[in-house]
């Protein structure tokens, strides 16, 4: 249980600071002790309320024209995602997605160095949005989704706000599916209840840190977490 508390505090500190990557941190820490089939539903039960809190915290920065179409893409992404899951090696899919995330993170890094930010191509944004829907909707991984939202928002508050709204839509869908398929059990539900205080501590420490740290530094941290997420996807599925 101590290991779970440490994982929850660390994961949701990153969540409060960057708006995503809690799944990466939580899974990485717990994978040494617990099977992934038990980690994903537990992280979902903790991530759902954290997204509600972040969305409320940054509610003034929500851009519905950004998050609603993306939320629809995330849910639509389940259709080809489920097909690929049934008919292909999911490790290959995750490796390809990981490479895409790394490349986008590197491109974002160089974009940040430019004095004037160029407007992203609607076609490129549409492709990223649909692929992010497949990755996030099927595997619960928000790295590509974060890359999309980073491109269409101007500051960290708007980034966290709109990303949280999309995550809420995705989390709602996954909670329903996990309950229907009995992936969320009574034991996992009780574990999540016990870990909620740890999640709240990490989340609010992360939110407070985001107010103190420089805006450019936080954006760089977001890019670093994106690249690390991509690397984790690739390396974990090369085994």
Asked if 160 and 58 touch (Cβ cutoff 8 Å), the reply is yes
Residues 6+ apart with CB under 8 A from 230: 97, 98, 99, 100, 101, 102, 103, 104, 105, 143
Looking at residue 222, its pLDDT comes to: 75
Please give the average per-residue pLDDT across 203-232, as a whole number.
82
118-153 CB burial, b ≥16 within 10 A, e <16? eeeeeeeeeebbbbbbbbbbbbbbbbbbbbbbbbbb
Chain position carrying tokens 């497949």: 134
Looking at residue 116, its pLDDT comes to: 56
Taking only the tens place, the pLDDT of each residue in 52-107 is 999 999 999 999 988 888 888 788 776 676 566 556 666 776 777 678 778 777 87
> What are the backbone dihedrals phi and psi of residue 141, each rounded to the nearest 5 degrees, phi first?
-100, 120
Q: Which of 15-24, 76-85, 104-113, 192-201 has the lowest mean pLDDT?
A: 76-85
Looking at residue 36, its pLDDT comes to: 62
Chain position carrying tokens 């329903």: 176
Q: Is the pTM of this model over 0.75?
A: yes
Give the C-alpha separation, 92 to 225, whole Å.
22
Taking only the tens place, the pLDDT of each residue in 110-157 is 776 665 555 666 777 777 777 777 766 556 667 777 777 877 888 888
Please give the average per-residue pLDDT across 17-21, as a whole number.
82
Query: Regarding predicted confidence, which is higher, 9 or 18?
Result: 9
Give the C-alpha separation, 129 to 72, whole Å.
10
């Amino acid at each position: 249980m101590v290991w779970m508390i440490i994982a929850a505090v660390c994961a949701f500190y990153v969540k409060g600071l960057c708006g995503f990557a809690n799944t990466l941190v939580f899974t990485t820490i717990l994978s040494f002790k617990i099977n992934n089939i038990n980690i994903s539903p537990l992280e979902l039960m903790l991530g759902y309320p954290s997204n509600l809190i972040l969305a409320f915290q940054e509610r003034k920065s929500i851009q519905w024209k950004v998050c609603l179409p993306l939320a629809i893409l995330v849910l639509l992404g389940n259709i080809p995602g489920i097909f690929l899951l049934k008919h292909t090696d999911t490790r290959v899919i995750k490796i390809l997605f990981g490479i895409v995330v790394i490349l986008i993170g590197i491109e974002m890094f160089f974009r940040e160095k430019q004095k004037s930010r160029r407007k992203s191509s609607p076609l490129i944004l549409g492709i990223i949005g649909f692929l992010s829907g497949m990755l996030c909707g099927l595997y619960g991984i928000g790295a590509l989704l974060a890359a999309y939202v980073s491109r269409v928002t101007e500051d960290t508050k708007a980034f966290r706000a709109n990303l949280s709204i999309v995550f809420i839509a995705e989390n709602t869908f996954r909670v329903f599916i996990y309950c229907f398929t009995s992936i969320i059990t009574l034991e996992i539900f009780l574990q999540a209840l016990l870990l909620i205080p740890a999640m709240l501590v990490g989340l609010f420490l992360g939110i407070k840190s985001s107010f103190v740290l420089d805006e450019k530094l936080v954006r760089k941290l977001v890019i670093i977490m994106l690249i690390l997420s991509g690397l984790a996807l690739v390396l974990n599925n090369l085994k």
